[in-house]
Amino acid sequence: MFRPKLLLAAVPAVAASLALSACGQEEINAANNNPSSPVHQGAMIFHERCGGCHTLKAAATHGSATNVSQKERTDGPDLDFRRETVQDVLFAIRNGGFSGSIMPANVVVGQDAQKVALFVSKYAGSKSQTAK
């Protein structure tokens, strides 16, 4: 028995699954993809632990809202447009960002935090007006 309503309901679901499957196509592009590089390791950690809330092309993450009207409370800064220093990144990691309201404090610690800070400070701000 043909059910047109069921077919119409399935179309958006199929379209959404195709769109989501395309999300994983980008690759991390940091420190020439040398797995032994601390910067590349920081990119991998950032992708895993920070990518849900932050956008940073070098880590292949898209966690920030691209449209202000669609921004959610948990959307972190788009780091492609925001330059950061190692010290600022470490401060944000230790203290839950700069406001302390959403980002969990100590989301990464120790050498992992240092690797993430090295990575972010090297690649953040690539699309900013003040980028090198």
Choosing among 3.30.70.100, 1.25.40.340, 1.10.760.10, 3.40.50.11270, the CATH entry for 26-123 is 1.10.760.10
pLDDT single digits (tens) 68-127: 677 777 788 889 999 999 999 999 999 999 886 788 999 999 999 999 999 999 999 998
- Listed in sequence order, the residues at least 6 apart from 63 whose beta carbon sits closer than 8 Å to its beta carbon are 50, 51, 52, 53, 54, 55, 75, 76
- Residue 52, phi then psi, degrees to nearest 5: -70, -20
Domain limits of the chain? 26-123
Say if CB 93 and CB 116 are below 8 A apart: yes
43-70 average pLDDT score: 87
Proportion of the chain above pLDDT 90, given as a percent:
48
Picking from 123, 71, 79, 115, the residue whose alpha carbon sits closest to that of residue 97 is: 79
Say if CB 49 and CB 107 are below 8 A apart: yes
Q: Does residue 26 or residue 28 have the better pLDDT?
A: 28
Whole-prediction pTM: 0.73
